[in-house]
Amino acid sequence: MMQQHIDISSVLRQTLACDLYSNLVTRKTGAAVRGQIEQLLSDSPGDGRALTVIDFSQVSMIDFSCADEVVAKLLLRYSDEEATEVYFLFRGVTDDHWDAIEAVLERHGLALALESGDDVRVVGALSDGERRAWDATYRLGDATEDDIAAETGTDGAGARDVLEALWRRRLVMRVDGRYVAVGGARHHG
Amino acid sequence: MTHVIAVPPSLDDHSFEQVLEQVAPLPDDAKLVVDARHVRWASPYGLTALLTFAQTRKVMPTLAVPELEDTASYWARAAFFQHAEGLYELRGSYPKRREAGESSVLLEITPIAKSDDVHAVVGHVQERAQRIIKSELKLESKAIIGFAMTLSEVCQNIIEHAGQGGWVAVQSYNWTRRLGRRVVVIAVCDAGLGFRKSLESTPGHVPTDRWDDAAALEAAVIRGVSRFRDRGRGQGLAGTRSYVGRWKGKLSVRSGTARIAIVPGWDDDVPLAEGLPAFPGAQVQVIIPEAVSDTEAR
């Protein structure tokens, strides 16, 4: 699977006419940044399957309108997308970014995989079942439906439905018939 | 015939209504002298509203500037005269050049017309807001980012909804008379469409039985309704409301003939005022007060 790293502050500098600002503010800026990210994704070689790290490390702040454009609309655009399988791992998200990102995830019922230190966790709007299944998948490294059923105390059909839902939301990847949590493979070799 | 409009000695969001009440019976093209000679103090709202007021007039009004040297000097430092020169015929003497070094003016009066203006405003305020919010208002660091986000969102309200430019100003001061504490205040005023007309432009908009400026403000400020169908819209004011609530601040939004407010415990304003004198556009004020211990608050 193709992997790439997108530094949001670099995209922001390319987007704005001047490079003085490191703040992700205004809906117009957010839409331009998202457009640039989508362009980078469509330009990247491969079979349409990609894991992309969205790196906020150098971004000072993000407001609600910009978070809606950069985070929410990006996730909405690639969730359940038939033609491509694009997965996102968010990196460098601090408390300074979190209020805005959390608000837009809640507003749209979205969730994302977030790197936090050496760990990855899933944040946003998930059912208890989805959260348990994602945690189990991440903990196991890669897993089958039966593995997740055993780990979460559900039956096979229930586990399959939840894993399918997580896959459509692009929170787990399907690799050779097994499920891998986004951001999980790296930590589990 | 020229009509003299007396500006109250203390000009803020409430006393500005007295200006509008005097103008209400007059035709749009009436020749006005706005008499600010006896003004001693003006809030950022008062100053940005005065500029906005001039933009609503068909005939350029005259402004008699404050006689008190300190007041005129402050208005100059806040860049009021710089912008007023294009909107009023200024009468009286006032400092022609802005003096530097006004620490309480976090952001002098600045026009907002496009997205880049918001970037500039947020970038400019961030560093100074950090010092004021932590040292003077004694709020947690988290309040600093929220303040910049709030500033960004209320400025964007102009770009997204006004249909024309507006003004923003940010200042901190000791609000002795009303609160006895330091506050930081954001004022954003425009003379554009206003909330009611903006929401009426929503495709398929059907007005309710009680559809007026107050209903439009309730929809936009309380329920997060936007003229855009996009589900992600309307989060800016919701976020502003949440920020203001968290830090025990006050948000008030005036549009047309109504004003809605999120009123904290320390203030006795009404949550909704209707039947005010008509004033085009939208005028937003955010007040964040200095933190006090629970004991002091009692």
Q: Is the pLDDT higher at A153 or at B204?
A: A153
Asked which of A125, A141, A158 is the last residue of a domain, the reply is A125
Are A120 and A138 contained in the same domain?
no
| Contacts A61 to B, Cβ<8 Å | 122, 126, 145, 148-149
Tell me, yes or no, whether A118 and A151 share the same domain.
Answer: no
Task: Express each pLDDT in B211-220 by its tens digit.
Answer: 999 999 999 9
The residue in chain A having the minimum alpha-carbon distance to the alpha carbon of residue B120 is A21
B236 to A60: CB separation less than 8 angstroms, yes or no = no
Task: Spell out which residues of chain B touch residue A73, defining contact as CB-CB under 8 Å.
Answer: 232
Instruction: Measure B279 CA to nearest chain A CA, in Å.
Output: 27
pLDDT above 50: residue A188: no
- Name the minimum distance, in Å, from the CA of A55 to any CA of chain B: 19
A189 has a pLDDT exceeding 50: no
Q: How far is residue A144's CA from residue A180's CA, in Å, rounded to a whole number?
A: 9
Chain B CB contacts of A16 under 8 Å are: 116, 119
Residues of B in contact with A28 (CB under 8 A): 115, 159
Close Cβ partners of B164 (under 8 Å, ≥ 6 residues apart): B113, B190, B191, B192
pLDDT tens sequence across A92-120: 999 999 999 999 999 999 999 999 888 99
Distance from CA of B51 to the nearest CA of A (A): 24
Looking at the DSSP assignment, which residues form a beta bridge with residue B31? B2
Interface contact B123-A21, CB threshold 8 A? yes
CA distances from A67 to A29, A38, A49, B236 (A): 10, 15, 24, 11
Q: What is the DSSP letter of A188?
A: G
Note whether A104 and A136 are same-domain residues.
no
Do A45 and A81 sit in the same domain of this protein?
yes
CA of A137 to nearest chain B CA: how many angstroms apart? 31
Verify that A68 and A108 share a domain, yes or no: yes
Domain count for chain A: 2
Please say whether the beta carbons of A131 and A122 come within 8 A: yes
CB pairs under 8 A between A and B: 84
**Nearest Cα residue in chain B from A105:** B232
Threshold 0.80, pTM exceeds: yes
For position B102, what pLDDT does the model report? 55
CATH no. for B1-95: 3.30.750.24
Question: Which tokens is A167 given?
Answer: 């896959």
- Complex ipTM: 0.85
Residues of B with Cβ-Cβ distance to A96 under 8 angstroms: 145
pLDDT of A28 strictly over 60: yes
Last residue of a domain, one of A76, A93, A125: A125
pLDDT greater than 70 at residue A186: no
Same domain, A117 and A77: yes
Q: Give the angle subtended at the CA of B211 by the CAs of A103 and B53, to the nearest 5°.
A: 80
* Assigned token pair, A186: 């790296």
For A79-90, the pLDDT digits (tens) are 877 778 899 999
Same domain? For A36 and A101 the reply is: yes
Show the domain range for A80. Answer: 1-125
Higher-pLDDT residue of A176 and B286 is B286
Alpha carbon B283 to its chain centroid, in Å, reads 5
Token pair belonging to A102: 């959390």
Averaged pLDDT for residues A130-136: 96
Chain B residue at shortest CA distance from A15: B116
Q: Which of B130, B235, B243 to mutate to test the interface with A (most CBs of A within 10 A)?
A: B235
Give the C-alpha distances (Å, rounded to integers) separating A43 from A4, A50, A58, A86, B103.
12, 12, 24, 13, 49
Angstrom distance (rounded) from CA B187 to CA B283: 7
Above 50 in pLDDT, residue A7? yes
- CATH of residue A178: 1.10.10.10
Q: Give the domain ranges of chain B.
A: 1-95, 102-298
Give the distance from CA A84 to its chain's centroid: 14
Same domain flag for A111 and A136: no
* Residue A96 to residue B126, Cβ atoms within 8 A: no
* B102-298 homologous superfamily: Histidine kinase-like ATPase, C-terminal domain (3.30.565.10)
| Residue B148 distance to chain A (closest CA, Å) | 8
3-class DSSP assignment, residue A135:
helix
Chain-chain contact of A107 with B156 (C-beta, under 8 angstroms): no
Q: Tell me what pLDDT residue B274 has.
A: 96
Residue window 96-125, chain A: list those with CB within 8 Å of chain B: 96, 99-100, 103-104, 107-108
* Distance of residue B107 Cα from the nearest chain A Cα, in angstroms: 17
**Last residue of some domain: A94, A125, A156?**
A125
User: What are the pLDDT digits (tens) for B26-74?
Assistant: 999 999 999 999 999 999 999 999 999 999 999 999 999 999 999 999 9
Q: How far apart are CA B274 and CA A118, in angstroms?
A: 55
- Same domain (yes/no): A76, A169: no
Per-residue confidence (pLDDT) for residue A117, from 0 to 100: 86
**Which pLDDT score is estimated for B293?**
67
A156 shares a domain with A91: no
Interface membership of A73 toward B (CB under 8 Å):
yes
B231 interaction partners in chain A (CB closer than 8 Å): 107-108
**Which residue ranges of chain B lie beneath pLDDT 50?**
298
Residues A158 and A188 in one domain: yes
Do A109 and A137 belong to one domain? no
Two structure tokens written together for A48: 């349409």
